[in-house]
Amino acid sequence: MKVGLFIPCYVDALYPEVGVQTYKLLRSLGVEVDYPEKQTCCGQPMGNAGFERLSVPLAEKYDQLFRDYDYVVAPSASCAAYVRVFHPGQIRGKDPQHECMASKKTVDVVEFLHDILKVDSLPAKFPYKVSVHNSCHGVRELGLSSPSERNIPKFNKIIDLLSLVEGITVVEPERPDECCGFGGMFSVEEKAVSLKMGSDKLRRHISTGADYITGPDSSCLMHMEGVAKKLGLEIKFVHVVEILSAGL
Amino acid sequence: MSTRHSTYAEHYLQDNEVAERHDKTFFGVREKRDRMAHDLPEWEDLRKAADGIKRHTVTHLAEYLEQFEANAVKNGIHVHWAADSDEYNAIVLDILRSHAVKKVVKSKSMLTEECHLNESLEKNGMEVIETDLGERILQMMHLAPSHIVMPALHVHREQIGDCFREQIPGTSESDDPTYLTHVARLHLRKQFMEAGAGMTGANFGIAATGEVVVCTNEGNADMSTSIPKLHIVSMGIEKLIPDYRSMAVFQRLLARCGTGQETTVYTSHFRGPRPGGEMHIILVDNGRSQILGDADHWQTLKCMRCGACMNTCPVYRRSSGYSYTYFIPGPIGVNLGMLRDKDKYYDNVSACSLCCSCDNVCPVKVDLSTQIYRWRQELDSLGHSDPMKKFMSKRMAFLFNHPGVYTGTLRLAKAVNWMPKCLVNSKLNPWAYGHKMMKFPKNSFHRLWKKKKI
Amino acid sequence: MNKMSAREQILNALRGNTRERYDMPDLSEISPIVYDDPVGQFIKKATTTAGAKLLEMEAGDSIDELVLLAYPEAKIIASNVKGVTAQLNPDTVETAQELASVDVGVIEGAIGVAENACVWIPQTMKEKAVCFASEYLVILLHKHDIVNNMHEAYARIEASDKYFQKYKFGTFISGPSKTADIESALVYGAQAARGVTVVLINN
């Protein structure tokens, strides 16, 4: 199985360690991993801001770069969701016949580990209490967990994976899948609402008594970390992959 | 980088106590709704059916309207058609005048808000009394609704007590909700007895039987229509459903989604005039038939105005109804406002973090967040895009479309260089409003990969 | 302004703007909730969330006695139900306004719904105000008329030719009039009945 690693722009620039750990984890599980160097961004920042037309070439490039892999794995639920949900329509807008292969094969790393590799043991140890941040697009676009709004059997793929880690205590905050208020440029255009959403979310995570907030989306973590530091709230942040790969 | 919504919201959030109370109140309604959803094993099947029924009905609406009209007329109901709000207001006025009505009691109807009926009637010398308690409070306080189902939940008991003491003689010093509700009960009783006409909206119109269904908890629609002999129903044309089998699906969903109850206290079926009375139904288009032709947004016609999308919306709960410039707030209001007048209501399109929670509570599966995303794509061509967002998007698109430049930029300048200067300057940096600036690591992933350090 | 012109205008616009058409879904795919003991479920819902009182009527009980038991202070009772002693009769009052002073209205329910304690009240009196303007309401309901859910209730109404013949109105009532419009505080007796007693008749 050959996997193309998609390291979204902000993970590349701000959280390279998340990319590194994803690579190491996949390799440790026997997966052949390639990183196409010409990759950049899925286009979501422009799309959510209302400039999808500017990001269509990115979707096309993405498809060219990744279409021949068995899977494309990204350590970022929101970017994987954007590729899966929005790319096909964007490309079809220009070329109705085009089949968006890369979009179909794109998964978040949690999905890949849980659904494709069906990982059932990991050597990782993480002797801390972590509060799971169920990011919106992970929950409601990728189905990483059952949305609290729906009456469907309860599940949570992130928690399933974290439960394989030795020494960890996993909790969820009240309102377990309410938005943290990032939303790309939403966080600057609606800065007051975004800050309020972020601080509310942080307080709910903190009141679980957790040492860390963890999630599949560095963008939510980046937002909450920025708010926490601004407000002087004490809690640490770690991407799910960094826990699952601990000790590699 | 701001919109009228974001500016009003920022102002609203200055009073943290009020804001937290608002959030808690409406999240409480969402939680009650969740309990209802989880109590019914067939919940998701009901949503699927409701979506399907509405899809079917709105795409066969002309036929169903004709059927509805024919059956209503058979039942002895007068049916009127209004293409827009002016026609609608004129028809109402005409009916009232021809019956020499001076005072009208009204149960809650968002359609009458949409058409500014009260102003129109008052201008023509009618006394209009809202009878839903929340609406009556707002009317007495000269305020607009801030939610479509619980329009006055943002008003505090002390303000209501003061208002009643000023306007309803004999009101004592107590601000107890039970006491104030009973003061209003007596006050409204008098209005029901004196009114010459009762007006209601319609939660549903049933084509197969030619009747309308009105759901309330207070019984005010029933009081309004069982004392005065003239009943006028205002109904948006999209409120039609085919038959009783469909009605069962919607009756089960409406209150569960709207207020977290298994049912409203009253589900009243009006199939004709009272003995010795008269019943009129006004079918109002006011833009709805145009929405049907809009490939991206026609699904808003499925909406049954339960308000669930407001209660779950993290932005609505933290900014309140008055931060929106359209009279219907929240996710459905953002969309309906744009469909009403893009140039007037585009400010609300910012009020969404695209969390998609609304899509999952909506009982008829309107694709609310996707529609907001689509409106954002239109803003630039409408001339309403934010210049800073456009600048940043163009910059990003350029960089990301040129991988060489992009990785170079990250390596050399740590991304900060490709941000506009004013964004880095902390005084003007909107990111710095709520965040401490992030630290950029020495190496990007890309550079580590190139240097073979992974 | 021509009335017909608005009608034609709207219908034409709808026909012109309809794009893809969707079929009516198959509603038999829904398996609505049913209860082992629908009467027990009805009683539970009526006396909890609906906020009604409940009395069971055995052979030999008189409705008058049960009304007195439920509302001993009542002075003016209105009803057109056979065998009920009442001061006012909604069939014979001149105006609906006369029913404003009623303490207790006694009316008949035709279908009870276990899932939500709704009772179907077809209009069987000239002035339906008795159902809403009375301070308190006594609803008579036969146990064998209790169904599981709203699907069953609507199917029964549709199948019967009893309803909407003489009077063109019917309503589902579930407990007393309620509001939570002031700070979400639940208050009974917003506009219509302050209290409801359902009298379940054993057969």
Residue B265 CA to residue B279 CA, distance in Å, equals 23
pLDDT at B97 over 90: yes
Q: Is position C144 within any domain?
A: yes
Quick one: average pLDDT of B391-411? 78
pLDDT at B418 over 80: no
Do C27 and B65 count as a contact with CB atoms less than 8 A apart?
A: no
Residue stretches of chain C with pLDDT short of 70: 1-4
- Indicate the burial class of B449 (C-beta count within 10 angstroms; 0-12, 13-18, 19 or more): buried
Tell me how far CA of residue B179 lies from CA of B86, B166, B174, B240, B445, in angstroms. 40, 16, 7, 39, 66
As annotated, the residues of chain B forming the CATH 3.40.50.10420 domain(s) are: 60-289
Report residue A138's pLDDT band, with 50, 70 and 90 as the boundaries: very high
Do C30 and B249 count as a contact with CB atoms less than 8 A apart?
A: yes
What pLDDT does C4 receive? 59
Residue A115 CA to residue A63 CA, distance in Å, equals 23
What pLDDT does B411 receive? 52
Per-residue b/e over B255-287, b at no fewer than 16 CB within 10 Å?
bbbbbbbbbbbbbbbbbbbbeebbbbbbbbbbb
Model confidence pLDDT, tens digit, residues B248-301: 999 999 999 999 999 999 999 999 999 999 999 999 999 999 999 999 999 999
Going by C-beta distance under 8 Å and a sequence separation of 6 or more, which residues neighbour residue C59? Answer: C202
What pLDDT does B412 receive? 45
Q: Which residue of C has its CA nearest to B295?
A: C19
Q: What ipTM did this prediction achieve? A: 0.97
> How close are the terminal C-alpha atoms of chain B, in Å?
39
Going by C-beta distance under 8 Å and a sequence separation of 6 or more, which residues neighbour residue B166? Answer: none
Model confidence pLDDT, tens digit, residues A18-74: 999 999 999 999 999 999 999 989 999 999 999 999 989 999 999 999 999 999 999
Quick one: average pLDDT of A99-108? 95
A136 in reach of chain B (CB within 8 A): yes
- To 5 degrees, how large is the angle CA C114–CA C119–CA C123? 160
Model confidence pLDDT, tens digit, residues B231-242: 999 999 999 999
Q: Which token pair is B150?
A: 């619980």
Among candidates A94, A88, A85, which has minimal Cα distance to A53? Answer: A94
- Taking contacts as CB-CB distances below 8 angstroms, the residues of chain A near B357 are 136, 140, 147, 149, 177-179
Quick one: average pLDDT of A203-208? 98
Q: Which chains, if any, share at least 3 CB pairs under 8 A with chain A?
A: B
What pLDDT does C6 receive? 96
pLDDT at B413 over 60: no
- Taking contacts as CB-CB distances below 8 angstroms, the residues of chain B near C90 are none
CATH superfamily, domain at B60-289:
NagB/RpiA/CoA transferase-like (3.40.50.10420)
Do C30 and B46 count as a contact with CB atoms less than 8 A apart?
A: yes
Q: Which token pair is C71?
A: 């509302």
Q: Which tops the pLDDT comparison, C10 or B424? A: C10
Give the CATH number of the domain where residue C179 resides. 3.40.50.10420
Report residue B342's pLDDT band, with 50, 70 and 90 as the boundaries: very high
- CB atoms under 10 Å from CB of B293, counted, come to 14
- Look at chain C and report how many structural domains it folds into: 1
Quick one: average pLDDT of A217-246? 96
- Taking contacts as CB-CB distances below 8 angstroms, the residues of chain C near B107 are none
Mutation site for B-interface testing, chosen from C181, C194, C198 by largest number of B Cβ within 10 Å:
C181
pLDDT at B419 over 60: no
Model confidence pLDDT, tens digit, residues C120-172: 999 999 999 999 999 999 999 999 999 999 999 999 999 998 999 999 999 99
pLDDT at A197 over 50: yes
What pLDDT does B442 receive? 85
A93 in reach of chain B (CB within 8 A): no
Quick one: average pLDDT of B405-409? 68
B174 in reach of chain C (CB within 8 A): no
What pLDDT does A207 receive? 98
Quick one: average pLDDT of B188-195? 97
Q: Which residue of B has its CA nearest to C91?
A: B275
Quick one: average pLDDT of B414-420? 53
- Taking contacts as CB-CB distances below 8 angstroms, the residues of chain A near B1 are 185, 188-189
Going by C-beta distance under 8 Å and a sequence separation of 6 or more, which residues neighbour residue B219? Answer: B265, B266, C132, C177, C190, C191, C192, C193
What pLDDT does B426 receive? 58
Percentage of chain A lying above the pLDDT 70 cut: 100
Quick one: average pLDDT of B23-51? 97
pLDDT at A93 over 90: no
pLDDT at B422 over 70: no
B430 in reach of chain C (CB within 8 A): no
Name the pTM for this structure: 0.95
Do B434 and A53 count as a contact with CB atoms less than 8 A apart?
A: no
Percentage of chain B lying above the pLDDT 70 cut: 95
What pLDDT does B431 receive? 83
What pLDDT does B319 receive? 97
Cβ B79 vs Cβ B69: under 8 Å: yes
A241 in reach of chain B (CB within 8 A): no
Interface B–C counts its CB contacts (< 8 A) at 264
Model confidence pLDDT, tens digit, residues A64-75: 999 999 999 999
- Taking contacts as CB-CB distances below 8 angstroms, the residues of chain B near A222 are 438
What pLDDT does B392 receive? 86
- Taking contacts as CB-CB distances below 8 angstroms, the residues of chain A near B378 are 50
A229 in reach of chain B (CB within 8 A): yes
List B residues 297-316 in contact with C (Cβ-Cβ < 8 A).
298
Do B431 and A188 count as a contact with CB atoms less than 8 A apart?
A: yes
Residue A79 CA to residue B153 CA, distance in Å, equals 38
Report chain A's mean pLDDT, rounded to a whole number.
Answer: 96
Percentage of chain A lying above the pLDDT 90 cut: 92
Percentage of chain B lying above the pLDDT 90 cut: 85
Residue B270 CA to residue B266 CA, distance in Å, equals 12
Q: DSSP state, B234?
A: E
Report residue B409's pLDDT band, with 50, 70 and 90 as the boundaries: low
Quick one: average pLDDT of A199-220? 97
B190 in reach of chain C (CB within 8 A): no
What pLDDT does B416 receive? 55
Write out the residue range of the structural domain in which residue C66 sits: 33-201
Dump strand ranges (E) for B8-112: 78-82, 103-106
A27 in reach of chain B (CB within 8 A): no
